Amino acid sequence: MVQWSDSERKTIASVWDKINIDEIGPQTLARVLVVYPWTQRYFGAFGDLSCASAIMGNPKVSEHGKTVLKALEKAVKNVDNIKTTYAQLSQLHCEKLNVDPDNFKLLADCLSIVIATNFGPAFNPAVQSTWQQKLLSVVVAALTSRYF
């Protein structure tokens, strides 16, 4: 089981407190679709994804970005139990959505970048260690855990 120190728990809570899901979610998903264009294949029903500005203005992308970040909140509020918390989501992504699990890492990377652009130097190395290297890695692993 993943062990979290008190300071890591505080860091995660404090980063999450400052995150506006309605902004960060859409920005993150839009970036994934722009920077890693092959991910657009999962969103055939989303309408116009023909260029960066279309993606960034697309309301379905925006909605789905918020959905993804709301799901991340479950991990943030259950850090001691992320694998179980995400068991069903993992099955959903594998069996129903057929998402290649490599893409989880891409989304995690874009989220870290969005946080860095929004927080600036406050996203210091210690925060990056806890948030990106540890929390997001655990999340990605949990999402991959029910794949076979």
User: Residues 52 to 81: which contact another protein by CB under 8 A?
Assistant: 52, 55-56
Smallest distance, Å, CB 24 to another protein? Answer: 13
Q: How far apart are the first and last CA of the chain?
A: 21
Smallest distance, Å, CB 136 to another protein? Answer: 12
User: Residues 3 to 32: which contact another protein by CB under 8 A?
Assistant: 30-31
CA distance 140 to 46: 24
Nearer to another protein, 128 or 145 (CB): 128
Name all contacts of 85-94 with Cβ < 8 Å and 24+ positions apart: 85/142, 86/139, 86/142, 86/143, 86/145, 87/142, 87/145, 87/146, 89/143, 90/142, 90/143, 90/144, 90/145, 90/146, 90/147, 91/146, 93/143, 93/147, 94/146, 94/147, 94/148
Amino acid at 142: A
The correct pick among 101, 119, 138, 145 for binding another protein (CB under 8 A) is: 119
Select from 14-22, 67-75, 83-91, 126-134 the region that touches another protein (CB under 8 A): 126-134
The correct pick among 48, 97, 126, 147 for binding another protein (CB under 8 A) is: 126
The correct pick among 3, 5, 17, 120 for binding another protein (CB under 8 A) is: 120
**97 binds another protein per the rule CB under 8 A:** no
Select from 65-73, 84-92, 105-113, 140-148 the region that touches another protein (CB under 8 A): 105-113
Cα within 13 Å of Cα(44), Cβ side: 3
